[in-house]
Structure formats: structure tokens, C-alpha cells
Amino acid sequence: MKIATWNVNSLNVRLPHTLRWLEENQPDILALQELKLDQDKFPQADFANIGYHAAWNGQKTYNGVAILSKQPIDNICTDIPALNEPQKRIIAATINNIRVICAYCVNGESIDSDKFKYKEQWFHALHDYLNNELKQNPATIVLGDFNIAPTDIDVYDPQQWQNKVLCSPQERSWFQQLLDLGLTDSLHYLHPNEAHYTWWDYRMNMFRRKLGLRIDHILISQKLVPTLQQVSVDVATRGWERPSDHAPVIAQFA
């Protein structure tokens, strides 16, 4: 089983990229973030034409998440029920008895901003939501753009990013609290001492200079850890014409 996550940074712009990537890689499940499409504008037919079911939670201009699957998608839940917010950042579904939760987590802007305070509230709500989901679903995968680089190895220049948004001690503690629920950071689990980046700023030629952050993650429940075989980042997509600033992360399970 191959499961992937990709922040496409506008599905309207990156639909050809997404269809190409699906046909070339044939994942069983692909979670998408930052669709930037209204609910009624989602290109369901394009995915159906290449054999994928779809569930989505759309929003124009910002946000929006989706799950694509070769197998039927059941028990769909959009948003964190207790949060009662307008931003479309969560979609969950059950596929082949696995609970798949796609998240586009709050960025936070800067650590002294109101958006950072909102990020803290949002992560606390996510923690409680996942705690409940894990109690009900022993086989759970939480994947997406978390907007947190968990450790210094996930940052091209830890000193430069020290105490900045995406890399602050506060955010890393929120990420650790998710792991403490019984989740495992799949890429770090298999490659604990290797630097892998998933996002490169469009500015200052950061991708060509290999200056990135790892902020896109696939977290798995303990029941799935023994079946985990491989995790990788498809860096090549970041070099495509008009690319997303993120690259797909792929996990392979037995």
C-alpha cells in the first residue's frame, strides 16, 4: 500500500501536475492540501477518469483539503467538530479499515502575531480530535502540511531559524504532543539522522540551493508501524515548471 501527501498550493494551477504524478506513481491514497477551490469547483471527474475516488473540503483562495483513493471512501468527516471555524483544514475518511486524516495546519505567520496564538489554539483542538480518533481507530494515518519542522535536522540552517515560526520550541512541543498520543513520524522513524526537506521558499532560488524545511509529515499509529517499509520525498516535482513550493511525501506499507 502506497500513501502520499502533497500540498499542491492551488489545485486549479497544479491539476496537470497532480494528474501526472498520480499516473506516474499510482499511490493507493493521496492527501492534498491548499486546494484554493470552492467546494463546487473540485475537479472530481478528472480524478475519476484515472480511477480515483475523491472526498474534499473546499475553500476559495485559501485552505482546502482532499483525499483521493483507488478504493471506496467511507465515513467522511470534514473539519474538527469542536473547533467550529470557517477555515477548511481537515478531512478524514475510512479506506480499507484505515482511518486517513488529511490536515492543512495553521502557518502562524510570526511568533508574536495573533495568527500564532490562533495556531496554538488550533493545535490544541487537533490534539483532542486525534486523541478521540485514535481511541476509535487503531489503524490511523495523519498526514499533510503541519507547518512545523520538528527538529533541527529538518531545517537547512537551524541557527537562522531559531525561535522563528515553523521552528519555534512552542510549535515543536505541539508536534511532540501529537506524537505522544501514540503516533510515529514515519520518515524520522526510518531515517532518523538524515535531512529531508519537503518545502522550499519560492524566493531567493531556495530550491536550487537546496535550502528547505521538512514541514509535511506522515504520522502513523502504532498498529501500522510494523508494516512500514519505506518513506521518501519526491523532490523532482519541485523542479517541474510552475511547481508547488512543496514536494510529495510517500510512505509504503506491506
Fold assignment, 2-253: Deoxyribonuclease I; Chain A (3.60.10)
**Statement: residue 11 has pLDDT above 90:** yes
CA distance 103 to 45: 23
Average pLDDT over every residue of 184-208? 97
C-alpha cell belonging to residue 197? 526537506
The pLDDT of residue 113: 96
Return d(Cα 228, Cα 254) in angstroms, integer: 6
What is the residue-averaged pLDDT of the chain?
97
Q: How much is the pLDDT for 85?
A: 86
Q: Model confidence over 54-91: pLDDT tens digits?
A: 999 999 999 999 999 999 999 999 999 889 889 999 99
pLDDT digits (tens, 9 = 90+) for 119-161: 999 999 999 999 999 999 999 999 999 999 999 999 999 999 9
With a pLDDT cut of 70, the percent of the chain lying above it is: 100
Q: Cα dist. 254→2, 102, 249, 251 in Å?
A: 9, 21, 17, 10
Position 117 scores a pLDDT of 97
**Residue among 50, 48, 36 nearest 7 (CA):** 36
Q: Measure the CA angle with vertex 67, ends 120 and 34; round to 5°.
A: 50
**Active-site residue flag, 104:** yes
Tell me what pLDDT residue 84 has: 85
Q: Are 31 and 65 in contact (CB under 8 A)?
A: yes
Question: What does the domain layout of the chain look like in residue ranges?
Answer: 2-253
Rg (CA), the chain: 17
pLDDT tens profile 84-123: 889 999 999 999 999 999 999 999 999 999 999 999 999 9
Q: Which of 52, 79, 104, 197 is catalytic?
A: 104
How far is the C-alpha of 171 from the C-alpha of 163, rounded, in Å? Answer: 10
pLDDT in tens, 226-236: 999 999 999 99
Phi–psi pair at 4, nearest 5 degrees: -135, 160
How many H-runs (helices) and E-runs (strands) does the chain carry?
Answer: 6, 12
**CA-CA distance, 200 to 239, in Å (whole number)?**
11
128 catalytic per annotation: no
Which one of the listed residues 28, 79, 145, 216 is annotated catalytic?
Answer: 145
The per-residue pLDDT for 237 is 98
Burial-class residue 195 by CB neighbours within 10 Å (0-12, 13-18, 19+).
middle
pTM given for the model: 0.98
Tell me, what's the pLDDT at 95?
A: 98
Rounded average pLDDT over 4-24: 98
Give the β-pairing of 74-78 and 53-57. unpaired
The one-letter code for the residue type at 107 is N
With 0-12 CB in 10 A as exposed, 13-18 as middle and 19+ as buried, what is 178? buried
The pLDDT confidence band at residue 32, using thresholds 50, 70 and 90, is very high
